[in-house]
Amino acid sequence: MPQNATALWSGIFFSLAAGMMWGLVFVGPLMLPEYPAALHTFGRYLAFGLIALPLAFVDRADIRQLTRSDWLAALKLAAIGNVLYYLFLASAIQRAGGALPTMIIGTLPVVIAVSANLLNHQRDGRFPWRQLAPPLALILLGIACVNHVEWTALVQNPAADTTRYITGAALAVGAVVCWTWYPLKNADWLRSHPASKPRVWATAQGLTTLPLALLGYAAFWGWTSTTHDPLPMPLGPRPHEFIGLMVAIGLFASWLGTLCWNAASQRLPTALAGQLIVFETLAALAYAFLLRGQWPEPLTLTGIALLVLGVVGGVRVKPVR
């Protein structure tokens, strides 16, 4: 197999692996609904940062090679792409349920691909709009099909809190903004440092996330104490389940998922990598239906098929320099 083809398919594999692990973050807030979004966020990234410490020791020689500007870039990525993104997302999931935020986040392949084509085409080559539009349209149509099923079920529920769902949708849009910025900036750094190991960069982001998570956790603890919140701190009402879930999400979704995404970003054009984030949506939907214990409706399966067709079509579009 030619070298370019090998890089392409290995990049797709890493994108798939990242999506499957990132899908876990959509069900975490549903598994522990009595925990506020802030505790989910700071707990997850506290675990991520602590996991990064021994990994940083293993890669200490490479970590020392990072410059001050590299650490500043990692801090920005951690603050916006990790902490702020998940704070928005976890809040959205707890207000609107798992399905609606997943569908809104599912627009990321379209938003990122278009943004990359508009802003970063001078680096990767420009994707011809006439060739890019059909797969993007399929992805968007697939998301619309799944969203229609979920929205119909929502409006038929007499106990639904419309205001709460609208607030959740708005927070999910905020998460989209954060994660449109993150992969573009992350890919910029990785492509400008081709000799850097994706594992080391993932660990660096974990290290910069740790102080942010510690500060956030301490601030939230102080706020609950000041307001006399009945939530038992520091680990909530189900401490063992909380610790286990945070460690699992911190290891798989945060560190290992970021590692796989970094590996994909080094191998794929940014616009194509943006489309492959659709794997996260597919994984999140699969986990959500497993958690519900029900099989997707035919229109939902049709939407998923359209998403996959859109990704396959996007893989075949070649950038033109």
Task: Give tens-digit pLDDT for 104-113.
Answer: 887 777 777 7
Q: How far is CA 241 from CA 17, 237, 246, 261, 291, in A?
A: 25, 9, 9, 27, 16
- 69 lies in some domain: yes
Asked whether the bond before 234 is cis by omega within 30 degrees of 0, the reply is: yes
pLDDT in tens, 278-306: 788 888 888 888 888 888 889 988 988 88
DSSP string for 8-48: HHHHHHHHHHHHHHHGGGGTHHHHSTTS-HHHHHHHHHHHH
Q: Which is more confident, 170 or 109?
A: 170
- 56 lies in some domain: yes
Residue type at 68? R
Kindly report the average pLDDT of the chain as a whole number. Answer: 84
- 290 lies in some domain: yes
Q: DSSP class of residue 2?
A: -
- Going by C-alpha positions, the residue among 279, 287, 221, 282 that lies closest to residue 248 is 287
320: helix, coil or strand?
strand
Confidence of residue 125 (pLDDT cuts 50, 70, 90): low
- 320 lies in some domain: no
Q: Say whether pLDDT at 121 is over 50.
A: no
Tokens of 122: 């001078």
Burial of 234 (0-12, 13-18, 19+ CB in 10 A): middle
DSSP H or E stretch at residue 43: helix 37-58
pLDDT in tens, 32-44: 989 999 999 999 8
User: Above pLDDT 90, what percent of the chain?
Assistant: 27
The backbone torsions φ and ψ at residue 152, rounded to the nearest 5 degrees and listed phi first, read -60, -45
Q: Which domain holds residue 239?
A: 3-315
- 273 lies in some domain: yes
Residue corresponding to tokens 């070649």: 318
pLDDT in tens, 213-228: 999 999 999 999 998 8
User: Above pLDDT 70, what percent of the chain?
Assistant: 94
d(CA 18, CA 63): 23
Confidence of residue 170 (pLDDT cuts 50, 70, 90): very high
- 170 lies in some domain: yes
d(CA 317, CA 61): 39
Count of Cβ atoms closer than 10 Å to residue 56 Cβ: 18
Rg of the chain's alpha carbons, rounded to an integer? 20
d(CA 172, CA 170): 5
pTM for this entry: 0.80
Per-state percent for the chain, helix, strand, coil, to nearest 5: 80, 0, 20
Tokens of 243: 């610790």
- 321 lies in some domain: no
Helices 108-119, 129-155: crossing angle, 10 deg rounding: 150
- 161 lies in some domain: yes
Q: Say whether pLDDT at 275 is over 50.
A: yes
Residue type at 135? P
- What residues are paired with 126 via a beta bridge? 320
CA angle centred on 320, ends 318 and 321, rounded to 5°: 140
d(CA 284, CA 294): 14
Q: DSSP class of residue 78?
A: I
Residue type at 256? L
Provide the domain count of the chain: 1
Residue corresponding to tokens 């989910």: 40
d(CA 312, CA 184): 21
d(CA 5, CA 292): 39
